[in-house]
Amino acid sequence: MQTETRPFQAEVQELLGLVIHSLYKHEEIFLRELVSNASDACDKLRFEALTNPALAVKEDELAVRIEVDPAARTLTVEDDGIGMTHDELAENLGTIARSGTKAFLRELRDKAGAGGVPSLIGQFGVGFYSSFIVADKVVVESRRAGADAAWRWTSEGKGEYTIEPCELSQRGTRVTLHLRWRSNDEDGDAHGQDFTNESTLRAIVKKYSDFVAFPIRMEVERWEPAEGGKPGDGRMVRKVETLNSMRPLWTRAKDEITADEHAEFYRHLAHDWEAPLETIHFKAEGTLEYTALLYVPARRPMDLFSSNASKSELALYVKRVLIVPDCHDLLPPWLRFVRGLVDAPDLPLNVSRDVLQQNAQVRQIQKRLVKRVCESLAQMLEKDRARYQGFWTNFGMLIKEGIYAGGDDDQRLSKIALFPSTHGEEPVTLGEYGKRMKAGQEAIWYLAGEDRRSLEGSPHLEAFQKRGEEVLFFVDPVDEWLLERFREFDGKPLRAIDREGAHVESASEKEARETLEREHREVLGAIERELAAHVKGVRFSTRLSESPAALVSDANAMGPNMERLMRAANQEVEPQKRVLELNPDHALFKKLGRLRAEKGEASSDFQDHVALLHGQALLAEGSPLPEPGRFARLVAKLLA
């Protein structure tokens, strides 16, 4: 048969331009596509051999080979697979967006149903054309298994292709790319990757096709020392090496994989020097099948809270070929610390394979992954508290972020949250707090501030310590935002102890307080007038036993800690006036009464002592002083 020249059956210039310039983000993708096609061809042969004994092959006879010729600037990907006939070359390569794999699957399903269909990657028929991203000419030589004739398909991607007979000694397909010459800048440095370079090709195969089921081989040049010779004696030899590992860790049974193997795989996957804290490995079966291998790092990555690392980084594989190295759709952003991968053979992909289609299957996978991660963390909390506390120290803020983001509908996250409390040095869960609640206690009490040490000295704790009621400390900056969504746990509301209504007076306590306020109405009024710019009222308190004073916010007002955080973030915040509560039994209040009676409320001594009283109340809760210099001078004067 003579050489034929045929036009492509499509608007080729426009479509190839789309493939080259828009469809793929990275030019190295072409090698992933060619290796995937070669792997599919081997899979097709293996499958057809089940019903056609004449095509039977041994497992070790199937491989993918990569050959390079730097001088001629060619790169060849060859396989031992099913091969193609003349008509199949014309149909599969001459019609853009026609997928031989897709037609093959459809034919098998029509004959026998989907039960015995092999796992094949190509579904769109455009991956092959990514070759034109790096090549100005592509030659495909193929011989169908069981056929005597071989055919050569040639195209420069300019609107036509040729098909002609050729010589090929064995079945399979050989794709040769005539690579474009790389452009140089003014300094003579070449732009782009050199796809005739061994290390470049090795890295691409390792990145995208490390776990393809067939060996990917390449002849490389190595120095071979002379046996028994002097150091430096030897020669350069050429030898064939396998570039991929072929056996994915996640496809093996869980009980076959050792902790050391998991650690090594995790280090390779996450580029971490330390073994993972937790491994989550499971296979989902049913209408949607996939395998997940997830790792929880032992410590926080340095870039965890950077703007460039705000999304999930799980890798997505389809039939053991990397499709998306950091698939943002598989986990919510608050689980971005989890590393690992998902291999979903049946997941529908978009045409470029670089971006997942938004569909119910993706959401279903994400929902299951989130559930399994939360279950694993809950088991760690229950069985190994010390290890879980290490996790919480590193990643607790992200679990709180998940609560705020709406990932706590069933309180699965709030159940595994840890908070410091007045119960002891170790942080506690809300469930543990609930078991220790006093009979009749109406709320889960908390106090928010910058750190535990400062909160432990808060005058607001005095009444709760006296009653033996536990108080949680919220000391992470994210806690204030968390409380906007996190209002109750297990039917009990969370309430701040530095707000109105947190301290419940008995009838007798209230009556005694009101009586004292009437008796000292003039002193209280004088203090209130002196502090009119800072407080909205002054009254006695039954919550204080040792401290002279405390500032109390309205029940729904912004707390002092939130006020500080907002100002630290350069947000304009209207100053919140609060009520100053005084301890009527404290010596400082009694001195104020004497100073007013002896010198009057306009005296500097009375005014200075009132300023000191207000200042120490601010310091006790960790708030800044309105006039730090004046407060320091008054303390020095008092000490002198």
Rounded Cα distance between 357 and 355, Å, is: 7
Short-list 538, 545, 540, CA closest to 464: 545
Instruction: Tell me if 50 sits within 8 A of 70, measured CB to CB.
Output: no
Query: What is the chain's mean pLDDT, rounded?
Result: 85
pLDDT at 624: 83
- Count CB neighbours of 492 within 10 A: 15
Classify residue 192 by burial, with Cβ atoms within 10 Å: 0-12, 13-18, 19+: exposed
Question: Above 90 in pLDDT, residue 49?
Answer: no
As a whole-number percent, the residues of the chain with pLDDT over 70 amount to 87
- Beta-strand (E) ranges in 108-189? 135-143, 150-155, 160-166, 172-179
Compute CA distances 583 → 18, 458, 517, 552, whole Å.
78, 14, 11, 13
Compute CA distances 616 → 179, 473, 580, whole Å.
77, 21, 12
Reported as a pLDDT band with limits 50, 70 and 90, residue 337 is very high
Q: What one-letter code names the amino acid at 133? A: I
Question: Above 50 in pLDDT, residue 329?
Answer: yes
pLDDT at 189: 45
Rounded Cα distance between 121 and 291, Å, is: 16
Instruction: Tell me if 542 sits within 8 A of 457, measured CB to CB.
Output: no
Compute CA distances 229 → 86, 224, 233, 237, 444, whole Å.
55, 11, 6, 16, 79
User: Does 547 or 565 have the greater pLDDT score?
Assistant: 547
* HEC-encoded secondary structure of 378-414: HHHHHHCHHHHHHHHHHHHHHHHHHHHCCCCCCCCCC
Q: What pLDDT digit, counting tens, does each position of 192-204 carry?
A: 789 999 999 999 9
Q: What pLDDT digit, counting tens, does each position of 466-520 carry?
A: 889 999 999 988 888 888 888 899 999 999 999 887 877 788 888 988 899 899 9
Phi-psi region of 73 (alpha: psi -120 to 50; beta: other; left: phi over 0): left
Reported as a pLDDT band with limits 50, 70 and 90, residue 170 is very high
Is the alpha carbon torsion for 359, 365, 368, 372 positive or negative? Answer: negative
Instruction: Tell me if 65 sits within 8 A of 77, measured CB to CB.
Output: yes
pLDDT at 272: 82
Q: What pLDDT digit, counting tens, does each position of 401-425 carry?
A: 999 988 888 899 999 999 999 998 9
- Count CB neighbours of 224 within 10 A: 10
Question: Above 60 in pLDDT, residue 559?
Answer: yes
* HEC-encoded secondary structure of 308-348: HHCCCCEEEEECCEEEEEEECCCCCHHHCCCEEEEECCCCC
Question: Above 80 in pLDDT, residue 212?
Answer: yes
- Region 257-268 average pLDDT: 88
Reported as a pLDDT band with limits 50, 70 and 90, residue 320 is confident
Question: Above 70 in pLDDT, residue 101?
Answer: no
**Least confident interval from 273-282, 374-383, 596-605, 621-630:** 621-630
pLDDT at 360: 78
- Region 339-364 average pLDDT: 72
522 contacts: CB under 8 Å, gap ≥ 6: 596
Q: Six-digit token pair at 282?
A: 């499971």
Q: What is the pTM of this model?
A: 0.76
- Region 342-371 average pLDDT: 75
Q: Six-digit token pair at 14?
A: 């426009």
- Count CB neighbours of 60 within 10 A: 8
175 contacts: CB under 8 Å, gap ≥ 6: 34, 37, 38, 76, 77, 78, 128, 131, 138, 139, 140
Q: What one-letter code names the amino acid at 307? A: S
Rounded Cα distance between 577 and 553, Å, is: 8
**Least confident interval from 13-27, 156-170, 449-463, 570-584:** 13-27
